[in-house]
Structure formats: structure tokens, C-alpha cells
Structure 1
Amino acid sequence: MARLIPDSRKKHGWRYEPVISGKRLRFSFTCRLKRTAERTVLRIDDLIESAVHRTPLDGELLRWLEEIDERLFKQLVRAGLAKERAGHTVQSLTNAILESKEASVKPRTIVSMKQTQTSLIDFFGADCDITTITPGDADEFKSFLQSPRKISKRRKSGETYEKEQPGLAAETVQRRLRNAKSFFNFAVRKKFIKDNPFADMRTGQRGNRARMFHVDTALAYRVLDALPNARWRLLFSLYRWGGLRFNEALLLTWDDVVADQRVMMVPDEKGATHGRPVRKVPLFDEIEPYLLEVWEDLSSKTPGNTPIFVELLKGANPNQYLRNYFIRYLERAGITPWPRIFQNLRSTRATELSRIYASHVVRAILGHTEEVAQTNYLQPLEEDYDAIRQVSSRSTDEARKKPAEDARGKSDAFARRFTRTRHPMYNSRQSPSNHDSIKKPRENKPGVSFVDGNCDGSDARQNPSSRPGRTRTRDQGIMRT
């Protein structure tokens, strides 16, 4: 019977050499503890038993095969005790994830995941084995997303040409890295790989302040004048003064408008995952005239569940379609398009409402969290800085009008009060500056004088009624008078 033998050539190394049908098999592996090595030998014996008797492997043995290191697994494959692991490529991994997520996530999320899949395939290749991707490769993938590159485009005539594409925006890079990180987390949980190469990648959600823009009221009415018809004006007013997300306005139906309460029951896709499928949005005064304008143009036979913007929902990608047309209308009117066409309208409304209403009311109307608002929506306005400057200058002027004597008077009053209320321990001490508390020298007794440079004992001689005294000198001692 084969024995477990310590391998002196390796630290914590072990060798196991069983014989099957007259053929010796050699396995070498490392285990810190002997009992762990003995359990490994038992697993190998189970594999040998299953191979000899051609019985299927149980679930526990299959899990052990998935968890062991690659070196021992290859030895088992060469011995005919295990089958080669099915390789997982970038293409197969991302396809499996998209198939599993398609029924449980929103369509916009699927679009974002497909964009990440395209980026991974462009950089690593569709047939790249995911086990060969390292954290260093993940860093290079991030640089690939950030750097400009040339891409191939096809004209309507069929001719292809190359176009310089700039690097992706910082927020887009973070989104793709988050998706890539979740893809490889899926692979780790499926035991396709041991470690996620994107695990140490920082993919926190951070708003891009450089792409924030405030669409003030004056600019908003300029845009309304540039739009071609009533539906476009209503759509813009819902984004600008209703603060709706892009898809929320497109999904809005006439049944969602509750006229007697002057509110809209907006379908909330993001809130649906947290138990809030609908939120109540007031019909602000800026929205009502455009809503009535569209309503009056409708036929009386229009069903209530008809989307309000059914005529604008053209093409497979309404987001791109509406964005392109909206930018075209802005440029015709001489208005420079702002960085994020629809998101900046929502952030503008969030900033306006937060200056008037409590934060929990604004969150209920717009459907975002406080963290998202602070990161992506709220922005200081020039009006805020003007108000701060006015308050600051007013305070400075008032301070300059007060005479300096008031300050000195307050200082003196404080000093007097502070002296009276000092601790008794400090009041009992004699201060050197208090001349009244200095101890006076002892008076000389009658008939005794200190003969010194200025004292000659004349007082005693001039007072004959006093009893005979003594005169003391410093050098001669006591003298009788």
C-alpha cells in the first residue's frame, strides 16, 4: 500500500505514489500540516476508486476538485483521475452574466453592462482566458478606457474609415470598472477563478463637478421658445421643473395625471427595487400650461393608458434620438448645449427645491437619496455667493461704526469683574503691587536707637522724661547713656 512520504526537496512538501493496474502514479503537493496532507491522500484514493469502478463522483469530491490548486489538478488530469476544466473566456463569461441578469435588472442597466462587455472584448479579446487576467491587466484596462484611440466607422455607402475617439469621461470609466468588477465577482463565486483582478480597483461613485451646469429660468424660457411644438415644450418642462429622469417622462401616461389633486403619479423604476414603484410629483405652475396645451390637441378617443409622448418614441434608442434632436434645436437658436443634456435639468431642479423645502420633502418628490443629491445634483449658485458677500460686507460696516472706546470699556469691565470673582485662594495672596499690604518696619523702643548713617539717637537725648535707655551701634555693641 502506498504511503505518504515527506518531500525533502520542498518546504512542507509531500509525495504520494500509489499503483494502479501495475502503473505507479506520482503526486506531489504542499501542506503545512500532516493531517491536511492525509486528507488530500484520502481524496486521491476516492478518485482512484471511482476511476477503477467507473462510478460517478459525489458532490463533495467535485467541490474539492474545484478548490484545489492548479498544479495538483493538472497531475490528476494527467493520471486520468479528473477531466480538464472547461475554459472560461471573456466572451463566454460576459454572455453568461447578461443571460442571467436580463430578467432581473432594468433595460438601461443591461445597456450599460453590454457597453462594458464591448470594452472588455476590445481590450482583452473575446477568446482571452479569464484565469490569465491579473491585477496589472486591470490597471491597463483602466488606462485603455481613459486614453483616446482610433475606431473604425462605416459610412452609408459601405466604405470604412478611422475616427479619433477621445477617452471616456471619469464617471463613465468608473461605471465600466464597477461592471467589470461585478463580472469577475460572478466568476469568483462560480469558482471559475480564485481572485478578482479588479478587487483592489477603486470604483466608488463620485459625481463629476466639471460637468455640472445650472439651467436658470431665463435660459429655460429661451429653450422653450426654440422648441418646435407643444409636446417638446411639455417634455422639457417635465425635465426642468418636474425633475423627472429621462425614462420616467417617456413612460408617463394620461392616467398618471391626477388633475383634481394637481399631482402626477410618476412610475419610479429605481424606487421599485426598494418597494416604491410610484412617487407623487406636484404639478408645478411652470408645467401646467404646457400640459393643458397638449391635452387640448388630443382626440377624445385617446385611451388614458396611452403614453403622453407616444409620437416622440421613435427608433430603437429613444435616448439617442431625443438627445440628437434636442441638441439640434438648441444650436439652431444659438444656445450652446450644456454638458449633460437631461441630467443637468434634474440637478437644477433639485438645487432649486432644496433651497425652499426640507430635504426629506425634496427626496420624496425627486426620488433620490441624500448621498446621491450631495454627489450628483446639489450645486452652489452665484446667488449664494452674492448673498454671502452682502452679509459679510454688512457685518463689516457695522463693526467699523462702533468706536474703539466701546471695546476698551468692555475690556475694562471684564477685567474688574474677573478680579472680583477670582478664587479665594488668589485673593488671600498679597500682591507685590499692593503697597498698602507691605509690612511696616517695627518701631524702636523708647530710649533705643539704631546708630547708623542717618540714625544718631537724638530722639532719646531730646526726651529727658523717658527712662534711661541704651544705644546700640552695629560695630560697638551696646552703650549706656
Structure 2
Amino acid sequence: MPVEPPGREEASANTVRNFNDSLRKLNEYFGADKLLYDITTSDADVWRQWLVNQKYIEVTISKVVKHAKHFLLMANRKGLVRENPFQHLKAGGEENESRKRFIEQQTIDRAIEVAPDTQWKLIIALARYGGLRCPSEVLALTWDDADWEAGKITVMSPKTKRQGKPYRVMPLFPELIPLLERAFEDAEEGTLYVIEKYRNGMQTWVPNLNAFSNEPGLSPGSGCSRACGLLAKQSLPTSTRCMSLRLGSATRRESPANTTYR
């Protein structure tokens, strides 16, 4: 299937990786030699069902279908096909309810405790206490983004840059300060990024996380519920908390201001 992921000069490495993954799933079914104009709407229907039969989770299917529709839309605009055979497909939801869970502070602190070095401890703290996206926002954080006197951090957000929201400002939580200070002391003069040691992102992050998640009292998990709690303790309005932590409307409903956190 001779189609290339749409080129975006500002696209993150993670976005490009997702595009390529979707393209592989298209080629796996249709074959690399399948011509775009030979694909029918019926072929598209069977392909989507094939994704289901392959036991891909709904979130993955939704993302791949959306990418396929986008690829063929670009092909249509370039005059390579007369119509988009994927246009009628329903993508489905992209929320995996089974992965939602509240992470207790003692679990976060235990993970930070067993992490192998200061940089790893800070990665965990930024994700759990700061609510930063991993790895994009964590790796984009520079020392110039931290305003120590004002007690704030400017978080550059590659994911929302195209929507006109290239950054947001969040409180410098007390739980982050000791680790940030230690990392700053350890950094060589002229160091730009807060996280310098593990800049290859998920390639080593996942194996490392899996390794020390086997420690007593730990298990794999996800979410930024704890960060919501830290903001709630500061008696900030829900809208302000959600803006600081880039939360959508669904997460806002799950993060009431009167939630009790210990």
C-alpha cells in the first residue's frame, strides 16, 4: 500500500512513530503492493473487522482508523484517489477505562525511593506530582522553564502546540522542589534540559519502569490523579487545576474539588 504518513515539520517523534505503526497495520492486511485506488469501501469494512479479530484494543483500533482516514484524505487531495474508502468507518472511543486508577501518594513515594538515580526519581515526580506528559513534556522541560521565585514552571507542550496552546503554567509543587534542586546541583554548567541522562524516551523508560515496578508495594499504573489532589489541597478552582494539568472535560468530572486526599 504505497502511502506515506503525512509529513509535519513540527510533528513529535511519538506522532511520527504512531503514524508509522498505523501504516504497518494497513500494509499487514492489504500488502505493500496494493494500489490505493483499488481499495473499496467494502475492503475498508473488512480491514476494520480484521483489526478487531487481531485482538487489538479499542483505543488502538480507533487511532489506526483515524490515521487511515487521514492518509487517504491526503491522497485524495493530491489526486491519487477519487474518494476516501475509509471515510465512512467509525473510529470508536480512545479511552481505556480499564487503565484508569488512582495512584496513592505512598505508591508514588515508594517508586521514587526505589528509582536508580535522581534523574529517574525526577521523571516519576514530574509525571505523578506535576502531571506532565511522558515523555514529550518531561523531555522538553528546561532549567529556564523553572521560575523559582514565583514558584511556577512553564511546561512546553508539543502535543497542543498545533491547537494554539504551546505551553501552560503550573505550580512548583513542594514535592518537586527537593528533586529539582538536587538535579540542578548535579547538572553540569550550561546544561539545557532538566532530564539529560535519559533522552531516548520510551526506548529505555518502559523496561526500566517495568523493572522497578516489581519492587514490593509497586505495580504498573497510569494517570495524574495525585497531581489533581495536590492542586485540590491548595483550594484552587477546578478550572485552574485542570488548566495546570492539561485535563479534559472527562477528567474534570472525575476530579471534584471536594475530593479528600491524604
TM-score when normalising by structure 2: 0.87
- Distance in 1 separating the partners of 2:71 and 2:32: 15
| 1:105, distance to aligned residue in structure 2 (A) | 2.9
Task: Name the residue aligned to 1:256.
Answer: 145
Judge conservation of contact 1:279–1:365 (CA < 8 Å) in 2. yes
Structure 1 runs not aligned, ≥5 long: 1-89, 149-166, 339-343, 386-481
Q: Which moved more, 1:209-218 or 1:196-205?
A: 196-205
Q: Structure 1 residue 378: deviation in Å?
A: 5.5
Of residues 309, 319, 325, the one that matches 2:202 is 319
Task: Assess, with a 3 A threshold, how the Cα gap between structure 1 residues 133 and 354 changes in structure 2: closer, same or farther.
Answer: farther
Deviation at 1:117, TM superposition (A): 0.8
Task: Determine the structure 1 residue equivalent to 2:35.
Answer: 129
Cα deviation 1:42-80 (Å, max 9, x = unaligned):
xxxxxxxxxxxxxxxxxxxxxxxxxxxxxxxxxxxxxxx
Closer/same/farther in 2, CA of residues 352 and 134 from structure 1, 3 Å limit: farther
**Correspondence for 2:164:** 275
Deviations 1:352-391 (A, max 9, x none): 6468532321232123443xxx0x676479x979xxxxxx
What is residue 62 of structure 1 aligned with on the other side? none
**In 2: Cα distance, 1:186 partner to 1:297 partner:** 48
- 1:221 is displaced (CA, Å) by 1.5
Give the match for residue 124 of structure 2.
Answer: 236
Q: Trace 1:95-134 onto structure 2 (pairs within 5 A).
A: 95=4, 97-98=5-6, 101-134=7-40
Q: Is the 2:76–2:83 contact (alpha carbons within 8 Å) kept by the matching residues of 1?
A: yes
Cα shift at 1:193: 2.6
Is residue 291 of structure 1 aligned with residue 170 of structure 2? Answer: no
The alignment-based identity, stated in percent, is 24
Q: Structure 1: how far apart are the matches of 2:143 and 2:218?
A: 32
Letter matched to residue 68 of structure 2: A
Between structure 1 and structure 2, the one with the greater Rg is: 1
1:89-113 alpha-carbon deviations (Å, 9 max, x no partner): x22xx22x43xx2325333221111
2:190 pairs, out of 275, 279, 303, with 303
Which structure's relative contact order is higher, taking Cα pairs within 8 Å and 6+ residues apart? 2
Query: Tell me, which stretches of 5 or more residues in structure 2 are unaligned?
Result: none
* Root-mean-square deviation (Å): 2.6
Is it true that 1:140 corresponds to 2:46 in the alignment? yes
Does residue 88 of structure 2 align to residue 200 of structure 1?
yes
Query: Quick one: structure 1 residues 185 and 298, their matched pair in 2 at CA, closer, same or farther if it must change by over 3 Å?
Result: closer
Secondary structure in 2 matching 1:239: helix
Q: Which amino acid aligns with 2:105?
A: T
Q: Distance in 1 between matches of 2:84 and 2:245?
A: 36
The one-letter code matched in structure 2 to 1:310 is E
Is 1:172 matched with 2:78? no
Q: 1:139 to 1:239 in 2, by over 3 A?
A: same
Instruction: Give 1:296 deviation, angstroms.
Output: 2.7
Whole-Å Cα distance in 2 between the matches of residues 321 and 378 of structure 1?
34
2:235 pairs with 1:349: no
Partner of 1:447: none
CA offset at residue 130 of structure 1?
1.8
Cα distance per residue 1:161-185 (max 9 Å; x no partner): xxxxxx2221111000000011112
CA distance in 2, matches of 1:262, 1:140: 54
The 1:295/1:222 distance shift into structure 2, 3 A limit, reads same
1:360 counterpart letter in structure 2: S
Residue aligned with 2:150, SS: coil
Asked whether the equivalents of residues 235 and 249 of structure 1 are also in contact (C-alpha less than 8 Å), the reply is yes
Structure number with the higher strand fraction is 1
Distance in 1 (CA, whole Å) between partners of 2:58 and 2:132 is 24
Q: CA deviation at 1:115?
A: 0.7
1:345 partner SS = coil
What does 1:18-417 align with in structure 2 at a 5 Å threshold? 90-91=1-2, 94-95=3-4, 97-98=5-6, 101-148=7-54, 167-246=55-134, 247-299=136-188, 302-303=189-190, 306-314=192-200, 318-333=201-216, 335-338=218-221, 344-350=222-228, 353=231, 356-370=235-249, 374=250, 379=254
Number of corresponding residues: 257
What SS does the corresponding residue of 2:37 show, helix, strand or coil? helix
Which letter maps to 1:113? F
How far does residue 266 in structure 1 lie from its aligned partner after superposition?
1.4
